[in-house]
Amino acid sequence: MARPRLVTIPFSHYCEKARWALDRAGVAYDEEKHLPFFHARAVIRAGGRRTVPVLVTDEGVIADSTEILRWCDARVGPAQKLFPEERPVGDEVARWESRFDDELGPHTRRWGYHLLLPDRERTLTLMRKHAPPWEFRALTVAYPVARFVMCRAMRVNAEGAARSLAKVRAVFDDVSAALADGRPYLVGGRFSAADLTFCTLAAPALLPDGYAKWLGGREEAPAALREVLDELRVTPAGRWALKVYAHDR
């Protein structure tokens, strides 16, 4: 049986979501890394739908981060499952996970790209760390085109970034409220897909140590990102996510 192949943009928080689940399940895999804009060709060739992550297995292609988590669940015992089998706990985990996928992940991404992409040199420095050499060489030439395509595809602009940041803060507020009773995890007293998904999709706005190797640490971030980073890190949700990342990742 061939090792699964995970097609990624390495610093994508959705790809980190998939990596964490695979690592936690003890699944050995090969990671195929690509840069934004250039990833689409690799994803389509792998059988995906233009977005990452894509997991290529002997059983077929899994082109969604949530489905990768569920694929991992099929390979572990009940106590390790990210989506608990028992109800209503499993239903609550699924609701949180779905909300974070829809209301957190796209908005930390859009807000982050809005701050990063105007700074060509900072962006290229980040990309150079993880790029296949030919993709990086091409990006240095095609940067204006790549930036335009990315901004258009994700609707990256000042107004959109402001709306996205408001949505991120609203999700953090709701997670902070849920944690106010002192619970160690969001649902059921143990680590689940709800915790993993919040921690990874909030990572661009928190830069936990376990994720910083992909996106860089606080001091490497643009000043406007550091300001929000410092704000969100001291919220109950932010402090909790940093703790869970350190303990469970």
Q: Domains of the chain: which residue ranges?
A: 5-80, 89-248
Rounded mean pLDDT of 16-24? 98
User: What mean pLDDT is predicted for residues 108-113?
Assistant: 96
Using only C-alpha atoms, the chain has a radius of gyration, in whole angstroms, of 18
Q: What are phi and psi of 10, to 5 degrees?
A: -60, -35
**Which sign does the torsion angle of CA 79, 82, 85, 86 carry?**
positive
pLDDT of 1 strictly over 80: no
* Distance, CA of 165 to CA of 112 (rounded, Å): 9
Structure tokens at 175: 């997670």
Pairing mode of beta strands 54-57, 60-62: antiparallel
**The dihedral formed by the CA atoms of 109, 110, 115 and 119, expressed in degrees to the nearest 10:** 90
Q: What is the pTM of this model?
A: 0.95
Architecture of domain 89-248: Up-down Bundle (1.20)
CATH 3.40.1280.10 assigned to 5-80: no
